[in-house]
């Protein structure tokens, strides 16, 4: 590191930034694994009252893009849920309990929708907390993809889409007896060495296939490169071309502010185990714009008055849900796309973590901190002059979320990751050569970032040395 750089990127500077950070108290709301936790192979007893570990003993956890950390409130709320189940049995579905911080189970999904709505920028009626991300993409496409081989039948997605999204699209196309060879259009980055896809390039592909495309599926933030796509511009262009637009918000939700309603997005789906911190595999969610989820009280003859969807009883009108008369009366809006009664265990966990977002004051202050934190990371990395890596995430702040993706020179990844693990750093790798680093503003500090950059420099030197010797 150069001397000049040490001044702007020093431990003292990091500590001063932490001291001045208005969200610094939120770190205490989370359980951060210690380095010892991560090296032990013994099962550790649950310590709900665990003390906050200090900077020396805690790991440097910058992996909220993969799995967010556990809020302290989660185990409290889950225990309350278990107590309700234990003491009330089936009554827990509908019997309100004085002083309980939990909703009755019959309304738990509504409470979760109410809490998530401001995070995605939508009225509650356009949001449902349900199922999981891949399943929700399938449900959305099942409802809104009506291909016509002599008209609109194509689905556009990126060539480096997350594998699950690729499989969803491919299988939906086969499901309609069509072939991906003719009905699936993939968008490549401009050159093979580039990870970023420009908005202009996406718009050009949309224009090229405008009259034959039925649906566009893109990620809000690309999982590999960390690129934040221009959701409003791309949505507007695709909709103008008559294309239904779905966004996969796995890496965007809880990371960047979203305005799905105002951006006129048709539909979107997300998971809640990354920046939303609801726990591994926890319940996901979806957004459906009001124009797509409406239910007409006076349908024209021969019309059911709503878009057909793969339905289940939880999407049917609450007041008649238990009459068991087999008449599907969809709840207007996104809630009408629900299928099963949701896992209350999951929803309790999600509601607990969304309460921490409320403590933060929502996405605007979080994004403010996130921009600064990621910029601090960028400054630190830029100071590692001549080291064998480069940042492939857009340098422009508006073009990224919390994550920076670092592309290493060939052959270094395994040794870099090995050394980072030894140093108590938790980040993840995406083969063949990328390390993803994501400071989450809810629980990461500037000091975490400073510690990471030092560890990363050490890991790069270690890996280069090993390559030289081999
Ligand atoms: C961009 C993206 N899409 C889809 C998925 C699949 O999510 P799930 O396993 O919850 O269906 C993931 C998982 O990490 C993802 O990152």
Tens digits of per-residue pLDDT, 226-271?
Answer: 999 999 999 999 999 999 999 999 999 999 999 999 999 999 999 9
* CATH number, domain 3-58+363-469: 3.90.1150.10
Confirm or deny that 165 is annotated as ligand binding: yes
Index of the ligand 1 atom closest to the CA of residue 274: 14
Nearest CA to ligand 1 atom 12: 250
Q: Which of 64, 129, 162 for a ligand 1 pocket mutation test, highest count of atoms within 8 Å of Cβ? A: 162
Mean pLDDT of the chain: 95
Nearest CA among 210, 373, 346 for reference residue 278 = 346
Confirm or deny that 3 is annotated as ligand binding: no
Rounded to an integer, the average pLDDT of 420-427 is 98
Give the pLDDT band of residue 298 (cuts 50, 70, 90): confident
Give the pLDDT band of residue 408 (cuts 50, 70, 90): very high
Q: Rounded CA gap, 203 and 246, in Å? A: 15
Residue-level pLDDT at 323: 86
Residue-level pLDDT at 183: 98
Please give all residues whose beta carbon lies within 6 A of any atom in ligand 1, as ranges: 132-134, 162, 164-165, 219, 223, 248, 250-251, 271
Residue 343: pLDDT above 80? Answer: yes
Give the pLDDT band of residue 190 (cuts 50, 70, 90): confident
Token pair belonging to 291: 């124009």
Distance, CA 405 to ligand 1 centroid (Å)? 18
Give me the DSSP letters along 75-126: HHHHHHHHHHHHHHGGGGGT---TT-SS--GGGHHHHHHHHHHHHHT--GGG
Neighbours of 255 (CB within 10 A): 30
Give the pLDDT band of residue 321 (cuts 50, 70, 90): confident
List all residues 6 or more positions away from 309 whose beta carbon is below 8 Å from its beta carbon: 139, 142, 143, 315, 330, 336, 337
Residues in a beta bridge with 187: 158
**Beta carbons of 63 and 427 less than 8 angstroms apart:** yes
Residue 48: pLDDT above 50? Answer: no
Distances (CA, A) of 432 to 27, 231, 408, 410, 429: 33, 28, 9, 8, 8
Which segment of 34-38, 59-63, 329-333 scores lowest on mean pLDDT?
34-38
Nearest CA among 251, 305, 325, 286 for reference residue 63 = 251
Confirm or deny that 248 is annotated as ligand binding: yes
List the domain boundaries for the chain.
3-58+363-469, 105-353
* CATH number, domain 105-353: 3.40.640.10
Residue 3: pLDDT above 70? Answer: no
Rounded to an integer, the average pLDDT of 322-341 is 94
Distance, CA 196 to ligand 1 centroid (Å)? 20
Q: Rounded CA gap, 450 and 14, in Å? A: 7
Distance, CA 322 to ligand 1 centroid (Å)? 34
Index of the ligand 1 atom closest to the CA of residue 133: 11
Index of the ligand 1 atom closest to the CA of residue 66: 14
Distance, CA 351 to ligand 1 centroid (Å)? 20
Residue 53: pLDDT above 90? Answer: no
Confirm or deny that 266 is annotated as ligand binding: no
Q: Rounded CA gap, 347 and 363, in Å? A: 20
Residue 460: pLDDT above 60? Answer: yes
Rounded to an integer, the average pLDDT of 193-221 is 96
Q: Do domains 3-58+363-469 and 105-353 have the same CATH topology?
A: no
Q: Which of 130, 164, 229, 269 for a ligand 1 pocket mutation test, highest count of atoms within 8 Å of Cβ? A: 164
Instruction: Using a pLDDT cut of 70, give the percent of the chain over it.
Output: 96
């Amino acid at each position: 590191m150069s001397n000049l750089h040490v001044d702007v990127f020093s431990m003292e500077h990091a500590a001063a930034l932490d001291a001045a950070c208005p969200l610094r108290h939120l770190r205490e709301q989370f359980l951060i694994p210690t380095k010892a936790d991560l090296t032990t192979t013994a099962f550790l007893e649950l310590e709900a009252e665990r003390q906050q570990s200090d900077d020396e003993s805690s790991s440097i956890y910058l992996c909220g893009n993969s799995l967010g950390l556990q809020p302290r409130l989660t185990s409290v709320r889950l225990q309350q849920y278990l107590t309700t189940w234990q003491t009330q049995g089936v009554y827990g579905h509908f019997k309100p309990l004085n002083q309980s911080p939990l909703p009755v189970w019959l309304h738990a999904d509504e409470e979760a929708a109410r809490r998530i709505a401001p995070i995605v920028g939508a009225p509650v009626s356009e949001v449902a907390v349900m199922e999981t991300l891949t399943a929700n993409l399938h449900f959305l496409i099942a409802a809104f993809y009506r291909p016509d081989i002599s008209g609109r039948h194509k689905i556009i997605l990126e060539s480096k889409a997350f594998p699950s999204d690729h499989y969803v699209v491919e299988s939906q196309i086969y499901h309609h007896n069509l072939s991906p060879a003719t009905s699936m259009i993939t968008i490549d980055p401009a050159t093979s060495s580039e990870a970023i896809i420009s908005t202009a390039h996406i718009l050009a592909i949309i224009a090229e296939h405008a009259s034959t495309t039925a649906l566009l599926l893109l990620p809000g933030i690309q999982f590999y490169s960390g690129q934040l796509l221009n959701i409003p511009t791309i949505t507007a262009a695709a909709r103008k071309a008559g294309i239904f637009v779905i966004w996969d918000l796995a890496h965007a939700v809880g990371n960047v502010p979203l305005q799905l309603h105002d951006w006129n997005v048709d539909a979107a789906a997300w998971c809640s185990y990354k920046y939303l911190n609801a726990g591994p595999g926890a319940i996901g969610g979806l957004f459906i714009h009001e124009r797509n989820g409406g239910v007409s009280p006076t349908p024209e003859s021969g019309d059911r008055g709503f878009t057909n969807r793969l339905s289940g009883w939880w999407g049917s009108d609450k007041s008649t849900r238990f009459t068991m008369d087999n008449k599907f009366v969809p709840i207007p809006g996104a809630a009408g796309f629900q299928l099963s009664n949701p896992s209350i265990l999951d929803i309790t966990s999600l509601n607990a973590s969304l309460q921490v977002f409320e403590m933060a004051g929502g996405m605007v202050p979080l994004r403010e901190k996130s921009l600064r934190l990621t910029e601090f990371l960028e400054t630190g990395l830029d100071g590692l002059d001549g080291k064998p890596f480069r940042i492939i995430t857009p340098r422009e702040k508006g073009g990224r979320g919390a994550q920076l993706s670092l592309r290493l020179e060939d052959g270094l990844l395994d040794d870099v990751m090995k050394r980072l693990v030894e140093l108590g750093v938790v980040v993840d790798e995406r083969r063949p050569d990328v390390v993803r680093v994501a400071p989450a503003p809810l629980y990461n500090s500037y000091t975490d970032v400073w510690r990471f950059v030092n560890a990363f420099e050490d890991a790069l030197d270690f890996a280069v040395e090993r390559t030289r010797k081999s």
